[in-house]
Structure 1
């Protein structure tokens, strides 16, 4: 069982952190990595001048869309984690499967751990090899640097989010305050207009009563004057047609009546002299609003 597991170590170990795969993601080229490792590698590649992502093992270019969860490998890794190796098997775990030598070197070109005999083989001829400890330290430093950079970036994002939330709250409060102010001012304006409307209507009603009352009185006076004229005309006609003696006796009285009965011109009200400036002022205000805003007629 342990031997079979050791034979597939190239597949179940992450070439970046050199540990068993965690949340494994695979590329189209067939190489698999821990999700955290390949994500960090991708983000690190984005800030490089060339800005391209390439497989850490074979160098084939890829994009984030090419990453896919490898459930088959995940199942194998899970089974391996459950296997309890004996001390002897644990020792063999760090040995080269081919040469049974300690895996102490890391091949940069093949991105894999090898032994000193592998280094001297034709397969790795001319490749750049380094001690695993050095590579691990370098990888840890890179990951730590990436981690710190990402945490700093995260803090900046959180700060910006907090600033935006604060600004959003401030804007909402300001808009609410202005909304209430507008509503209050227009309520005052409505109250004033309503009061002025009632006052103007009351004034108009009072004026109407006064004018119509005066005109009614004038009409009554004219009717009375007309009746007196009718009576006097009738008396004068009667005297002219009567006897000479009666005419001479009543002439002074009739002349006095005709002299006293003079027409008094009734009081009239000229429409042009009425105080209509208030309505004109309101029309000017409405006209000004129509020019400033598009409102219905």
Structure 2
């Protein structure tokens, strides 16, 4: 016998008042059954006589305590169930009210939760529509099944969209890779062109440097020769001016020619000054 079946049977033969398996069960005309001690004790506590009316703790149907009848069928089932439970060495699970410790067997429509029979009588749930769990279980089973159907459809749609997104991601990545290679190749080509142009410009600059230095060296050499000739002529003239009349006039014609021809005129105009910016020519 499975645990689920045992729980179902236990619910049928559990006293709604003490939440234990029925002991000497008594039934009310409404069909609910209770332990003899529980139902009669409840009536005694409320001071209700045998001929006075009381109400069922579960469904509030009116009854007279004198009309309670023994239910041997439920008693036999409860006894057999006790034997099974003891044989298994365990107690079946019962969900109890956190506030009252009573079995949760009613459903409050307004609050949408399970309550016990004491909760139903409390101020919190007064005037609310309450039902036995079994009466509303099918309704919520159908609602939840319909919700499950819609949610599964939403889940399928989400899975489809997820697949589309993954496909787009893969497609996007596939587009990026060729573009990345194209850009890298393009800039490699540009770097190659720039490297070649750099070498060409540097070579051109070296040629300009060589030409400029040659011109400067030529001008410097020419100036040194002219300076040397000038020093000789100055020394000769100083000697003539300090000497005798004969020395002064000796070869005066030749000296005059030397004076007229000597001139410091190096090729300064050809010496490079400011470096012109090199062009791509």
TM-score by length of 1: 0.44
Q: Which has the larger radius of gyration?
A: 2
What is the TM-score when the length of structure 2 is the normalising length? 0.46
